Amino acid sequence: SKDKWQDNSTAGVVTGLAWTAVGGEILFVETSLSKGKGKLTLTGNLGDVMKESALLALEYLRANTDKLGLKTESFDEWNVHVHVPEGAIPKDGPSAGVTMVTSLASAFTQRKVRARLAMTGEITLRGKVLPVGGIKEKILAAKRAGITDIILSHENQKDIEEINDIYLEGLEFHFVKEVEEVLKLALLDEKVKKPLAI
Amino acid sequence: SKDKWQDNSTAGVVTGLAWTAVGGEILFVETSLSKGKGKLTLTGNLGDVMKESALLALEYLRANTDKLGLKTESFDEWNVHVHVPEGAIPKDGPSAGVTMVTSLASAFTQRKVRARLAMTGEITLRGKVLPVGGIKEKILAAKRAGITDIILSHENQKDIEEINDIYLEGLEFHFVKEVEEVLKLALLDEKVKKPLAI
Amino acid sequence: SKDKWQDNSTAGVVTGLAWTAVGGEILFVETSLSKGKGKLTLTGNLGDVMKESALLALEYLRANTDKLGLKTESFDEWNVHVHVPEGAIPKDGPSAGVTMVTSLASAFTQRKVRARLAMTGEITLRGKVLPVGGIKEKILAAKRAGITDIILSHENQKDIEEINDIYLEGLEFHFVKEVEEVLKLALLDEKVKKPLAI
Amino acid sequence: SKDKWQDNSTAGVVTGLAWTAVGGEILFVETSLSKGKGKLTLTGNLGDVMKESALLALEYLRANTDKLGLKTESFDEWNVHVHVPEGAIPKDGPSAGVTMVTSLASAFTQRKVRARLAMTGEITLRGKVLPVGGIKEKILAAKRAGITDIILSHENQKDIEEINDIYLEGLEFHFVKEVEEVLKLALLDEKVKKPLAI
Amino acid sequence: SKDKWQDNSTAGVVTGLAWTAVGGEILFVETSLSKGKGKLTLTGNLGDVMKESALLALEYLRANTDKLGLKTESFDEWNVHVHVPEGAIPKDGPSAGVTMVTSLASAFTQRKVRARLAMTGEITLRGKVLPVGGIKEKILAAKRAGITDIILSHENQKDIEEINDIYLEGLEFHFVKEVEEVLKLALLDEKVKKPLAI
Amino acid sequence: SKDKWQDNSTAGVVTGLAWTAVGGEILFVETSLSKGKGKLTLTGNLGDVMKESALLALEYLRANTDKLGLKTESFDEWNVHVHVPEGAIPKDGPSAGVTMVTSLASAFTQRKVRARLAMTGEITLRGKVLPVGGIKEKILAAKRAGITDIILSHENQKDIEEINDIYLEGLEFHFVKEVEEVLKLALLDEKVKKPLAI
Ligand SMILES: [Ca+2]
Ligand SMILES: [Ca+2]
Ligand SMILES: [Ca+2]
Ligand SMILES: [Ca+2]
Ligand SMILES: [Ca+2]
Ligand SMILES: [Ca+2]
Ligand SMILES: [Ca+2]
Ligand SMILES: [Ca+2]
Ligand SMILES: [Ca+2]
Ligand SMILES: [Ca+2]
Ligand SMILES: [Ca+2]
Ligand SMILES: [Ca+2]
């Protein structure tokens, strides 16, 4: 099934965790860069709040280029397209914030994303990671999908403590306060094969 | 009737398979290029998700020019118009993704599309082909229209296996995981007559 | 009454056939060009599908300048305004496609339109002419208006065969498959008086 | 009361006739030009069809500069603002077409408008004047406002013939087919005081 | 309470009179200029008709720079922001026209506005001042707020004559026909302290 | 919990007070600057009136650069992004005006914001601070969050006087009339670590 962790060979592809009417799900955030003038395109049947997450993620990176060794000019010389499959499913809410900022950071650095990692959490403009809902359902979906490491806001730690241990077996949790910690955990030093010259 | 496979003399015309309230249908995706500055026009009474498929298809090609021998500049020097007849019928959903990316690729390469070929499948930004619904009805429509080869997501193989063999006679199925496979199957080396100099 | 064929002295004025709740009607599509930068203006209380017909018609001409001896630059050096009187009546649907492409072609060539000619049919981006509905009512309206020649999609021939001959007297039908045939039938070699230098 | 004909000292101010739920009314169309780049602003609580009338009027003049001795460049060097008082009253419909084209023509020529003249009629892009409704109510309003000359479409002549002569006393009717006739009737040779150098 | 006349030390602040469900009110129109390219920003929870008043006011000034000794270039070199506190209250209607044009004129001239003056009236593009409603309630609000001088359309004079004299004590009325009169009454020769160099 | 005052190490982060259906809340306004052309982005699920507050705040600073030692060019050379977490909660109303102007001023000066300070109040374009509602609930929320100093409009002083003293213990109130006073109270002379060179 497609609801499995896949691989980390492509820059800009990050696994997120979503919570829908029928339970938890994994989702992928994909970022593609192409030479251009800094245009941002958002697809995947996204609601306004989820689109705002992408704006926040992009602005966070623009304002923190130094932390990732990015060049300010890159943001004006590449078009950015962020997509969240699957198109038939409407998606909204702020909880893909960490996934989006990691996807964008991977695309702009061309660094690989850690294998078998998933994440969920709202981000703010100054780089805080806020807690989100549906943690139990998301954890179950992550296990089913073959995930081994999960990044959450430190304010979601209490939600994990309430889950029966048998559901947590084989999962390692990384509780964070800042986007900077997310990126350190999620991005490998290794670049993808044939990286773009950004 | 117009619901027949027609011919492959024009670049950018690809046969897709749709699923409506009254059964399966074939549809045509048409791409036309004209000298310009990279403007994209989408017509055919398309819903938002179907328009997103066109954005995904175009971005996939921009980000993978090397795989098709395309020039990056082409996307800024030609206006792109994608149309899906018939205008009176509202259309939506992600399942024309593969058809759109093939139509655009044929237009930008001016290569002919394989004869008597139809396809259906969602695409993602990194080039995955996702399964879609209504496979049985679409297969019946393809047969009626004189199609002999059909491209589907490998995740739709199980849907074919459930169809009675008598309906599949004379049809060859090509199950794919990646957009790259779609384009290799669908585009002939031969260019159309009087190709545009792109 | 204004519902009469008028004359062909002005470039860009073409007679179409419409089908409304109260029967068939003739309508006029008017195109006016003025020096500019290629801006397109559409008026006449047109719905989205009818506006798409104008986009299709204009793109067809841009992509087929050679067939009509047009210059590519013309489309960037002239503003195009397409109007369908009367403003109080909302209009929609794809059936004015042939009328719009003929109107635009007459404007850009400054060639006269054949006298006492009317037409109805959807167009596609690659130049196919598709069948439309309400043929019987449209034919009656055409006769009342003094029309003698009517262009239809070849797929509407069966609709004509079902009409009693007494209603067809004095009418000559031209069944076409391609926009190219429409333009050959509709545009005279003769230019209008005081043609624009396009 | 303000519902009186006023004077013709200002270029671009023309008296129209409207038909509302509570009877006929006179209205004023005002056009103001200011140095700029051809931007068009429309105010006065206007509906979409009435805004289209302004677009038609402006395009008619752009395409017929020769008939009025206008310079093509003027349309790109002046901003055009068309207003129809009073702002609290929503207005729509095509019947102010002749009033708008006369207002714009007076503004661009700085010629005075004939005194005590009112008009009503739809215009088309090629310059036809089409009939409109509410003629009887509009005539009564014109008389009350001190109007002596009224321009109508020749297709509205039958409506005048049905009105009792006592209501027509003191009114002279000018029936026209073309916008060109309207402008010849409405614009005086005399320019306004301190005309703009257009 | 804030519903008092305040002072005239700031250019661009003018007192208007509004009429709401709960009686008359004074309101302030504030205009701020900052170096820019002529962008207009309108805030204060304004409806479409009230926004049109600001467009009319600005265009009137652009077209009548000579009357106020303004430079045409000023309108392209300064951004204009017009605000009407308070943001929580939706506002609409044309009656702030005179207040807006005075606010803009004060900002562009940096001239002080006459002390203890309030006004209400619709404006037209050619500079007429039209009557508005709610005069009695507005007058009472003006008195409560410490206003001594009120500008109204000459067509509102009849409304004042119907108000009992005891309510009018201490108020001086200025009935006008033209925007030009409003500005002569409202703008002092004296400039504000530290005027902008416009 | 996140509903605590946090720290003042980041420029552009200011604590506001909100009033919702379920009581008072603190909120944070975050401003981030990045090199650009003066584009303004507003996120946080903000309603139209709250977006207007940001426009007012930005324009106030543009028009009063001298008071804060800002350079006019800064506003055209930096993109401004204002965000109000949390994205899932719709927010509206004018009461964040003072918080927004302080957030923007801190970002453009890179000065620290006073510790343990919160504020609520509408602003106007000329820099007045207007009273807002829900004062009692906001005060309780501020105490819970560890706030010690609160800025309010002088017109809200009466609301404080009606609150039982035991709720006010440990809180110092600063009643203001002008935005200028807010900024003097809220911005420390000290800059943040590694300030941007604006
Ligand atoms: Ca799924
Ligand atoms: Ca691990
Ligand atoms: Ca069909
Ligand atoms: Ca085969
Ligand atoms: Ca008709
Ligand atoms: Ca014939
Ligand atoms: Ca009236
Ligand atoms: Ca006469
Ligand atoms: Ca008030
Ligand atoms: Ca006085
Ligand atoms: Ca909260
Ligand atoms: Ca203190």
User: What share of chain F in percent tops pLDDT 90?
Assistant: 92
In this prediction, residue F3 carries a pLDDT of 76
* Mean predicted confidence (pLDDT) in B65-93: 94
Per-10-residue mean pLDDT of chain C, 198 residues long, equals 77 95 92 95 97 98 93 95 95 97 98 98 97 96 96 98 94 98 98 94
**Is the pLDDT score of F1 beyond 50?**
no
Query: What would be the CATH architecture of the domain defined by F13-188?
Result: 2-Layer Sandwich (3.30)
Identify all chain B residues contacting C128, using CB atoms and an 8 Å cutoff. Answer: 85
Nearest C-alpha in E relative to D87:
E94
* Mean predicted confidence (pLDDT) in E165-194: 97
Dihedrals φ, ψ of D24, to 5°? -80, 160
Distance linking the first and last C-alpha atoms of chain D: 34
* Mean predicted confidence (pLDDT) in E6-35: 93
Asked if the Cβ–Cβ distance from A87 to B53 is below 8 Å, we say yes
User: What share of chain B in percent tops pLDDT 90?
Assistant: 92
User: In D19-152, which residue ranges form alpha helices assigned H by DSSP?
Assistant: 48-63, 65-68, 74-77, 97-109, 135-144
DSSP F151-178: EEEGGGHHHHHTS-GGGTTT-EEEEESB
Mean pLDDT score across all residues of chain F: 95
In this prediction, residue D1 carries a pLDDT of 43
Q: In this predicted model, what pLDDT tens digit does every residue of F83-105 receive, in sequence order?
A: 999 999 999 999 999 999 999 99
In this prediction, residue E2 carries a pLDDT of 57
Q: How many CB contacts within 8 angstroms connect chain A with chain F?
A: 64
* ipTM of the complex model: 0.93
* Residue ranges of B 51-90 with Cβ closer than 8 A to chain A: 52-53, 55-56, 59-60, 62-63, 72, 75
**Is the pLDDT score of A28 beyond 50?**
yes
**Is the pLDDT score of F6 beyond 90?**
no
User: What share of chain E in percent tops pLDDT 90?
Assistant: 92
Q: In this predicted model, what pLDDT tens digit does every residue of F50-62 receive, in sequence order?
A: 999 999 999 999 9
CA distance C162 to chain D (A): 36
A13-189: CATH topology is Ribosomal Protein S5; domain 2 (3.30.230)
Amino acid type, F83 = H
Asked if the Cβ–Cβ distance from E124 to D41 is below 8 Å, we say no
Which residues is B27 bridged to in the sheet?
A: B16
Picking from F49, F126, F130, F180 by the largest number of E CB atoms within 10 A of its own CB, the best residue to mutate is F126
Asked if the Cβ–Cβ distance from B125 to A86 is below 8 Å, we say no
Helix (H, G, I), strand (E, B) or coil at F85: coil
**Is the pLDDT score of A12 beyond 90?**
yes
Domain ranges, ordered by start, for chain A? 13-189
Query: C-alpha A19: how far from its chain's center?
Result: 15
B13-190: CATH topology is Ribosomal Protein S5; domain 2 (3.30.230)
Identify all chain D residues contacting E125, using CB atoms and an 8 Å cutoff. Answer: 30-32, 43, 81, 83, 85
Cite the beta strand spans of chain F per DSSP E.
13-20, 23-35, 40-43, 78-83, 111-113, 117-119, 122-123, 129-130, 149-153, 172-176, 187-191
DSSP E102-119: HHHHHHHHTEEEPTTEEE
Identify all chain F residues contacting E34, using CB atoms and an 8 Å cutoff. Answer: 59, 62-63, 72, 75
Amino acid type, B63 = A
Amino acid type, E169 = E
E13-187: CATH topology is Ribosomal Protein S5; domain 2 (3.30.230)
* Mean predicted confidence (pLDDT) in A163-189: 97
Asked if the Cβ–Cβ distance from B86 to C130 is below 8 Å, we say yes
Is the CB of residue B196 less than 8 Å away from at least one CB of chain A? no
Residue C30: name the closest of C79, C75, C80, C82 by CA.
Answer: C82
Residue A34: name the closest of B106, B181, B75 by CA.
Answer: B75
State which H helix or E strand residue E66 sits in.
helix E65-68
Report the C-alpha gap between E23 and D96 in whole angstroms: 37
Report the C-alpha gap between E182 and D77 in whole angstroms: 30
